[in-house]
A and B are shown apart, each in its own frame.
Chain A
Amino acid sequence: MAEHVSESSGGKGAPSRRKFFLITGWSSLGLFLSGAGAAFARYFYPGVLYEPQTTFNAGRPEEYVKPVNPTEVVVDERFKSSQRVWIVRSSKGVYAMVGVCTHLGCTPNWFPGEQRFKCPCHGSNYNVEGEVVAGPAPLPLFRAKIKLAPDGSMIITTGLLGIKRPELQYKKSTLLPRWTDEEKIDIAKAPYFLEIKA
């Protein structure tokens, strides 16, 4: 084949020139297509999101009802649908729990009688601390950060709401359904817990 081509086109350099054009042609086409493919893939990552803000004002801690029984908690659901956050008032203080099941992301429901969060999707159960007591969830519920604003109201930050764990929980060593002792100390103080005296 190659001899035939060189004979018919006369010169000895012809096949290599043809090869050169062949390689150049195909590689430019390949370059063009991969560029177009990369642009196409990049197109699916929007530059701006119009999602709800991940920081919100949850009002003053005094607004939340204290539990009658000191071993129980009162879960306030007023930010559940807009922010997917529960404001939990225990006898000692307030913390904010993110309403995203760590199994596959459904919103669990709070059952005050049983003092449990239960996920309707595959039945994960969490206790008041967010620890898994039943079901397939691999991690405790995420905590949001609480900061007190100068006017005394609570600024809650969930980060990328409901999906990414705040740094505390993002450590890979916490891949357990229960808080480790070290984490228990962490979640019981600021910014994950707001102590209220008396």
Chain B
Amino acid sequence: MAETPSEHGKQQEPGLLSKIVRLLTDNDIYRSFFRTGYPDTLLKRMAVMRSSFVMHILPTKVGTHGLKLGYTWCMGGITFFLFLMLTLTGVILMFYYVPEESRAFTDMKDLKFMVPYGMILRNMHRWAAHAMVFSVIVHMARVFYTGSYKAPRQFNWVVGVLLLTLTLLLSFTGYLLPWDQLGFWAVTVGTNMASATPFIGFEGPFSEFLGVRIDNDIRFAIIGGTRIGANALIRAYVWHCVALPLIASALMVFHFWRVRKDGFSGPL
């Protein structure tokens, strides 16, 4: 166990703290969780990374350049943190908010003024969403300007572009949910743009060849009707709360796994 006393130089006096640590870590329950004993040697630390599900996302070794904060600004990490925060606050908001025309706006107002801590939760959700759009863009700018998108990381850049799109779509689908004038008209305008899509939008070029009309074009599929109403609201809600976060999570897992496999990029 302690074959390498040179590790820290002081192995002799087992103080109270190390006795407690020994008590907590030197048992079957701890080992069944973490697969290794207390990681007090370099080898065991590497074994923890390799064998624990929780730790496997971390590399066993990190180059010094990977620790340079000034290089990455940790913008990817901040983005992920914001996503977690949005998931958490979003789920909490779902306990009060009902996506129904006559309730949506008052539920949002209730959350702000009647629900204990509702105001802070809604604002956390709102501001974290704004911050996430910002941090994704800064993250991508950093990746671009440091050339980190280059081989072998090209494909992860593609995944990143998809994640940017999903971030924007998450923001956009959340826009309608307060059912206020701002969101309502912004989504009216935004979804009307879809009707100018070539072939599949009724106002777009070549749509007449496919017989695309107001009541069967892509905009109709997005808002579930010809005008923003109850169908559009529930669709925005389901995309916002379930479908898009699931897709984004799946892509994020892949994104991180690729970062882990390719290693952190460093200064050229």
Residues of A that sit less than 8 Å from B by CB: 41, 44-46, 49-51, 104-106, 120-121, 160-164
Contact = CB atoms under 8 A, between A and B. Distances in A.
A159 to B, nearest CB: 9
Interface residues of B, number: 21
A106 B189 contact: yes
B119 interface: no
User: What are the 4 tightest A-B residue pairs by CB atom distance, in nearest-first order?
Assistant: A104-B189, A44-B221, A105-B192, A164-B214
Interface in B73-91: none
Looking at A41, A44, A104, A120, which has the most chain B CB atoms within 10 Å of its CB?
A: A104
A44 B189 CA distance: 20
A162 B227 CA distance: 8
Nearest to B188: A105
Contact of B193 (A44, A46, A104, A121): A104
A121 B187 CA distance: 12
Interface string B182-208: 000100110011010000001000000
Given A50-B230, A160-B214, A163-B214, 15 more contacts: A41-B221, A45-B220, A45-B221, A46-B224, A46-B225, A49-B225, A51-B227, A106-B189, A121-B185, A161-B227, A163-B195, A163-B226, A163-B227, A164-B202, A164-B226
A106 B226 CA distance: 14
B26 interface: no
A163 B194 CA distance: 13
A41 B226 CA distance: 17
A160 B230 contact: no
A160 B217 CA distance: 13
B189 A121 contact: yes
A49 B224 CA distance: 8
A104 B188 contact: yes
A156 B189 CA distance: 26
Contacts of B185: 106, 120-121
Contacts of B255: none
